[in-house]
Amino acid sequence: MTRRDTVANGLAGLETPALVLDRDKLQANLARLRDHLATWPEVAFRPHLKTAKSLDVADLVSPGRGPITVSTLKEAEVFAAHGFRDIVYAVGVAPDKLPRVAALNAAGARTRVILDNLQAAAAVADFGREAGRIVPTLIEVDTDGHRGGVRPHDPVLLRIGEVLAVVGALEGVLTHAGGSYGARTPDELAAFAETERSGAVAAAERLRAAGLPSPVVSVGSTPTAFFTRDLTGVTEVRAGVYMFFDLVMAGIGVCSTEEIALSVLATVIGYQPAAGQIVVDAGWMALSRDRGTSSQPLDQGYGLVTDADGAPLGDLIVSATNQEHGLIASRSGAPIDPARFPVGSRLRILPNHACATAAQHDRYHVLAGGALAAEWPRFGQW
């Protein structure tokens, strides 16, 4: 029996739609970034576990319970209970969440927050004074105009730093070059990485020149982590989707489709003969509504279709979705012969955005060595 036969046979007993994780690909992806960052042994790596939301995945990503990044306090609490003690909550903190952060710190899981405005800084400072619990804080720096953050040379950076430093909460700066997702070439990705690095370092240097502490200079996104050529002045790198990859990452040249570790197993349930399409039982509830490749040169619809063994089927994509139905079509518009895919056939769909697709499921069905090896629970909520 070949490896491909083993995969197909192992998945045959699963009810669909089902989230499939290839552990071998996951481990190869982890090793790939680890080997790249080994060039800078003085720089810490802080993986982002927002996509994984799984203790089993966390054990592979950081077996030594090293520093991690999270996007929800639920993630922080679950991973803290699992032994992680160095956490960055990398979403601008809402004042009403400060008591939960303080509780994590009081329990021994040192959790930093981020913010980018004076109101939030004042809330952190006031909470520290009133509750007697200092919440360690990083100032979010905007290095590419993509999302939140303070521009490195904005005067408000120092004003925020002063508010935080008075109560001993200021610990440095953090940036995320989300704009790198729009890059298309290795040189563009490397340029984003340098913009991210230089902007964060400039912000930290401004704080220090003003007599304010900035021991932490945190940068990171999956594209910039892989394409950085210089980390001078940086203390830590963050990345998240690198562990699974997805079609958006493949579309900008960070990975190949063969390296994508996550897929959704679906079953053929019917046909649209007039349109030359087939229907599967994985709609947007299983795949998500994310259309992250729509702005890329190759639009992958709602996902790239593979056979049950994970081999792409030419140009077949999920072209449209309803809640529980996915319509599979040829990107070229050529009709699909229904005889190729009898009702009951199994197909797998590679996701546009691994985070969004994984969020639709409560467990991973894990392949290892070509066989179905385990079932790993994942959690959600905030």
Domain limits, CATH 3.20.20.10, in the chain: 49-239
- Cβ distance 238 to 182 under 8 Å? no
Say what the pLDDT of residue 145 is: 85
Residue 8: the pLDDT is: 61
Residues 228-256 have a mean pLDDT of 97
131 within 8 A of 99, measured Cβ to Cβ: yes
The yes-or-no verdict on residue 5 having pLDDT over 60 is no
Range in 53-62, 138-147, 211-220, 233-242 with the lowest mean pLDDT: 138-147
Q: Which bin fits 168, alpha (ψ -120 to 50), beta or left (φ > 0)?
A: left
Yes or no: say if 180 and 200 are a contact pair by the CB < 8 Å rule: no
- Over range 251-268, report the average pLDDT: 98
Residue intervals of the chain classified under CATH 2.40.37.20 are: 3-20+252-377
Query: Three-state secondary structure along 216-246?
Result: EEEECCHHHHHHCCCCCCCCEEEECHHHCCC
Superfamily of domain 49-239: Alanine racemase (3.20.20.10)
The pLDDT confidence band at residue 1, using thresholds 50, 70 and 90, is very low
Q: How much is the average pLDDT of 287-296? A: 96
Look at the domain 3-20+252-377 and name its fold.
Answer: Lyase, Ornithine Decarboxylase; Chain A, domain 1 (2.40.37)
